Structure 1
Amino acid sequence: MTQDILRQILDYSNRADPYPLYKELRRTPVYHDGSGPFVVSTYYEIQALLHDPRISSDARNLASNAADPLAEPGGEEETVLPPSFLKLDPPEHDRLRRMTNRPFGPPHSPHRVHDMRGDLHEIVKGLIDRIAENGNAERIDLVEEFSYPFPVTVICRLLGVPPEDEARFHVWADTLAASLDPDPDADPKERERRTHDSRMELGMYLSGLIEERRKNPTGDMLSELATGNGPDGTMTTMEVLSTAALLLIAGHETTVNLITNGMLTLLRFPEVLDRLREEPELSVNLVEELLRYEPPVQLVPQRSTLADIEVAGVSIPKGASLWLVLAAGNRDPLRFEDPDRFDPDREDIQHLGLGSGIHSCFGAPLARQEAQLALSELARRLENPRLLADPPPYRQNAVLRGPRHLPIAVDGIRP
C-alpha cells in the first residue's frame, strides 16, 4: 500500500470516486503509517468498534500527541455551545440522547415521524411545483432547488419554527453548512467571522424561542425539549440549544447528501429509475441500498481509544486517534456479495450508512422517510431526467461526501 493513501482519500481530485482507494485500504484492515490515525476499513472490525465501550467520541480523550490530518468539522461550536451528545460518551451521552428521544420516537412519541408524512409530501410537492413554475427545464440544479432546501424546511417544522422565520433558518443553515467544507480560496478570517456570526444569531434566536415555548408550549419538539421532565430531569437552556443546533446541522447535511447521491445513482441506472416510477414501494429497499452503496457519511474521524486494544492483529494504544471508514466497510466483499454492484433488490443490507451502536444516526427514521418520499416523487414527476455533468462538482468535504451541484435536464414536469 502506498504511504500516502490517506492523503489521496482527502485529496479533492478523488472525491468523485474514492472507492478504488477504499478497496486498496481494505487490503490492510487496520492501516497506520506510524504517525497518523489508525484507520479501520473492513466491515466486521468497524461494526465491532462501533459497539465497543473502549472507543470514545469525546475529543478530550484523544492523546495530545495523537497526530490526525483531519480535524472533525464543526469544532468551533464548542466556543458558543456545549458539546452535543454526538461528541460525548456515557453516561452524559446516554442521558441527553434519552431526553432528546422522548419527544422524537418510541416508546414515548411513537407517531412523531409518521405523523410528519403529510407535511413531508407537501414540502416535496411544493419544491417540485416551484421548479415547474420557473419554467427552465433545460437546466435544473437539483441540490440548490430541491435537496438542499427540503431537509432544513423539515427540521423547522419538526422543531416548531414559525413559518415566517423559516427563511432565516435557510440562511443560517447555508452559512454553517459552508463552514464544514474546506475552501482554499476563501479568506479564513472572513469565513470564520461569518460562521461565528451565524452561530450567534442562531443561538440567540433559539434562546428566545425556547423561552417562549416554556411559557406557551405548542406540542412541537422544541416545546417538549424545553419543558420535558422525565426520569432524567429537565434539559438546561444550553442543552436544548446544543441539541437543536445538532438536529439542524446533522439532520440537514446528511439528508442533503442522501437525496443527492440517490438521485445521481438513479440517473446512472435509468432502468432502476423507471422501476421506481412504476413501483414507488421500491423506495424502501432502494434507500437502504443507497445507504450502503453511496453513504452520505463516508468516514467517522476523531474517535479515540480509552484503553490499549487489539484489532485484526494490530495493537492500538490508549489515546490513539481512530478513523472508521464506513464507506469502505459497506463495500467489503467479506460481508457483501458483489459489493460494487448497485442492487435495490439486495436482500441482506445491514449497512453502516447510518452508523451503529450508541452513536447510530439519531434521525435515521426521519432521514429514511425523507429520502423515500423525495426520490419516489422525483422519479414520478420528472420527465426524461438526465445528467448534464458526470461526475458533477463535489463538495470539498471528505467526511460528508456529496455533489455540491447536480445539474440535470428534463423534458417536462408531470402534475
Structure 2
Amino acid sequence: MAKEVTGEVTTGAGVYERILDHANRADPYPLYAELRKTPVARQADGSYVVSGYREIVALLHDPRVSSDVRNIPEIAAEQEAGTALPSSFIRLDPPDHDRIRSMMMRHFGPPHSPGRVDGLEPRMLRIVTDLIDAFAGKSRVDIVEDFAYPLPVTVICELLGVPRQDEPRFHRWSQAIIETIDPTTGTVAERERRNMEVRTELGTYMKELVDAHRRQPGDDLLSAIVTDPAIDLRLEELLSAAATLLVAGHETTVNLIANGMLTLLRNPRVLDRLRHEPDLVVGTVEELLRFEPPVQLLSLRRSALADIDLAGTTIPKGAIISLALAAGSRDPARFPDPDRFDPDRQDNQHLGFGSGIHYCFGAPLARLETQLALGELARRLVNPRLVADPPPYRPNPGLRGPRHLHVEFDGVLPA
C-alpha cells in the first residue's frame, strides 16, 4: 500500500470502498485493521478517511475541523435552494452548537436536571419486563423486531412526550433520514436534498407537538423546554433539535442492543457470568461500545477549515473528512488485544459515543437502556442460541446493526 507523503498520492485505495460494500457488513474489522495501516488515507475523490485512535481523537477536539455542513459546497448549495428546517445542532460549530445544545440539555441532564435519566429507570425496567414477558410460550423471537426496536422507541416517546401511536409516522421519517447519511446511496447533494425533504415533513409534525405541549404541558422533556422562559431558542432551532432527539434517541440504541445480544451469544462465558454477576453489565456495555459500536463511521459530514498536518499527511483546507470510529476503537496502539471482547477491560476510553464537543447527547440514556436490556435478557432467557450467524445486516455501513436477530430458547424465567 502506498504511503501518503506529500498529499498527492491516493492511499488506502479500495479498502474504504470494501468497508462500505454490504458484502462485508457482517465482519468489517479485518478491513478496518488494513485501513489503519494508513491512519490518514486520501481517497480518490479527494476526501480523507481517518482510522487511527490517536488521529481520530485529535480531530474530534480540533477547532479546525468543522461539523457545519454549510462548509461543504454540495450541501450548502442544496440548503440555500431549499426550505427545510435549519441544521440540527449536531451539524453546527460553536458558538451556535454550544448555545443550542446547552439549552436542550437544561431539562435532560446535569447541572439543571441531574435526575431525569436515572428517574426513568423504573419505567424502563417495566418496559423491558413486559417485552420479555411477551416471549413466554414462544421458542423463537426476533430480538430486533420484538425487543431492541420497541424498547428505545417507547422510552424516547415517553421522554419527549411523543404519542406512541404516532410511531409508524416517525419510523418512516427516521428510516429515510438514516438512508440520507448512508455514504453508499447517491451523491452528497442527492442525499442532502432528500434529507431536507424528510426534515421538512418531520418539522411540520414536531411543530404540531410543540404547540400541543405549550397548550397543555405534561411532565415530558418537550413540555419542560417549551415552557421554560430561560430557554431562548428560535422556533426553527427548537423543532430541528427536537426532531434530532426523536430520531437519534432510538435508532442507534436499537443497534447497540442487537449488537450486544449477538456478541453475548457469541461469547457464552460472558453471558453466563452476566447471569450470576449483575454488576458486570456496566463493563459489558462499555466494552460493547468499543467492540461492536452502533455508530461505526462519521462519513462526509466534516471538513477542514485550514490545512491540518496529521500522521505524516496534510489534510488540505476544504477537504471532507470521514472518521472510522470503529477502526479507532480497535486500534492495538490504544487497546491491548483489541479483537477480544473483554467486559473486565480497564481504561476503556472507546469512541462509541464519539468525543469532544459533539459527544453523544443521549449517551446516559443509551447506556442505561442497554444495561437493563442485556441484563434482563441474560437473566431470563433459558439456553438462548442464535438461529443464524452471521445474521442479516442493515444496509448502512455507518450505523451498523442486524436487520433481524432470530434467537431460539427453551423458556423464559419469571421477572
Q: Give the TM-score of the pair, scaled to structure 2.
A: 0.89
Give the RMSD, CA atoms, in angstroms: 2.5
Listed as ranges, the gaps of 5+ residues in structure 1 are 65-70, 186-190
CA pair 199-42 structure 1, distance change in 2 beyond 3 A:
closer
Deviates more, 1:347-356 or 1:78-87: 78-87
Q: Which of 91, 94, 99 is matched with 1:90 structurally?
A: 94
Q: Which of 23, 26, 43 is matched with 1:13 structurally?
A: 23
The Cα offsets for residues 207-263 of structure 1, whole Å up to 9 and x where unpaired, read as 222122223322321012212232xx4223222211111111111111011100000
In the aligned structure 1, how far is the partner of 2:240 from the partner of 2:184? 29
Q: Which of 45, 50, 73 is matched with 2:55 structurally?
A: 45
CA pair 269-227 structure 1, distance change in 2 beyond 3 A:
same
> Residue in 1 aligned with 2:283?
285
> Residue in 2 aligned with 1:332?
331
Letter in 2 for 1:328: A
In the aligned structure 2, how far is the partner of 1:154 from the partner of 1:297? 20
Retained in 2: the 8 A contact 1:62–1:305? no
> Residue in 2 aligned with 1:352?
351
1:131 Cα deviation from its structure 2 partner: 2.5
Letter in 2 for 1:401: R
> Residue in 2 aligned with 1:243?
241
> Residue in 1 aligned with 2:9?
none
Letter in 2 for 1:212: A
> Residue in 2 aligned with 1:141?
142
1:196 Cα deviation from its structure 2 partner: 8.5
Listed as ranges, the gaps of 5+ residues in structure 2 are 2-11, 186-190
Letter in 2 for 1:204: T
SS at 1:323's partner residue? strand
CA pair 282-16 structure 1, distance change in 2 beyond 3 A:
same
Letter in 1 for 2:371: Q
Q: Give the TM-score of the pair, scaled to structure 1.
A: 0.89
Letter in 1 for 2:123: D
In the aligned structure 1, how far is the partner of 2:235 from the partner of 2:149? 29
Q: Number of residue pairs matched?
A: 392
Letter in 1 for 2:361: F
1:283 Cα deviation from its structure 2 partner: 0.7
CA pair 320-195 structure 1, distance change in 2 beyond 3 A:
closer
SS at 1:7's partner residue? helix
CA pair 195-358 structure 1, distance change in 2 beyond 3 A:
closer
In the aligned structure 1, how far is the partner of 2:205 from the partner of 2:259? 32
CA pair 352-120 structure 1, distance change in 2 beyond 3 A:
same
Question: Residue 343 in 1 paired to residue 353 in 2?
Answer: no
CA pair 400-223 structure 1, distance change in 2 beyond 3 A:
same
CA pair 5-391 structure 1, distance change in 2 beyond 3 A:
same
Structure 2 counterparts to residues 320-399 of structure 1, below 5 A: 320-399=319-398
In the aligned structure 2, how far is the partner of 1:183 from the partner of 1:29? 20
In the aligned structure 1, how far is the partner of 2:400 from the partner of 2:350? 17
Retained in 1: the 8 A contact 2:177–2:198? no
> Residue in 2 aligned with 1:4?
14
Q: Which of 251, 254, 258 is matched with 1:253 structurally?
A: 251
Retained in 1: the 8 A contact 2:46–2:319? no
> Residue in 2 aligned with 1:121?
125
> Residue in 2 aligned with 1:209?
209
In the aligned structure 2, how far is the partner of 1:363 from the partner of 1:172? 18
> Residue in 1 aligned with 2:160?
159
Letter in 2 for 1:61: N
1:180 Cα deviation from its structure 2 partner: 2.2
Retained in 1: the 8 A contact 2:85–2:200? no
1:79 Cα deviation from its structure 2 partner: 4.7
CA pair 29-194 structure 1, distance change in 2 beyond 3 A:
closer
Letter in 1 for 2:102: R
> Which stretches of structure 1, 4 residues or more, deviate above 3 A after TM superposition?
181-185, 191-205
SS at 2:353's partner residue? coil
In the aligned structure 1, how far is the partner of 2:174 from the partner of 2:383? 34
Retained in 2: the 8 A contact 1:105–1:113? yes
CA pair 314-194 structure 1, distance change in 2 beyond 3 A:
closer
CA pair 199-84 structure 1, distance change in 2 beyond 3 A:
closer
In the aligned structure 1, how far is the partner of 2:384 from the partner of 2:83? 45
SS at 1:131's partner residue? coil
Retained in 1: the 8 A contact 2:173–2:202? no
SS at 1:315's partner residue? strand
1:202 Cα deviation from its structure 2 partner: 4.2
The Cα offsets for residues 53-100 of structure 1, whole Å up to 9 and x where unpaired, read as 110011121255xxxxxx9xxx99x75322110101111000000000
The Cα offsets for residues 381-405 of structure 1, whole Å up to 9 and x where unpaired, read as 1111100000000000010000010
Q: Percent identity?
A: 60
> Residue in 2 aligned with 1:188?
none
1:201 Cα deviation from its structure 2 partner: 5.7
In the aligned structure 2, how far is the partner of 1:204 from the partner of 1:60? 23
The Cα offsets for residues 22-64 of structure 1, whole Å up to 9 and x where unpaired, read as 1001101111134331111000110111011110011121255
Retained in 1: the 8 A contact 2:152–2:253? yes
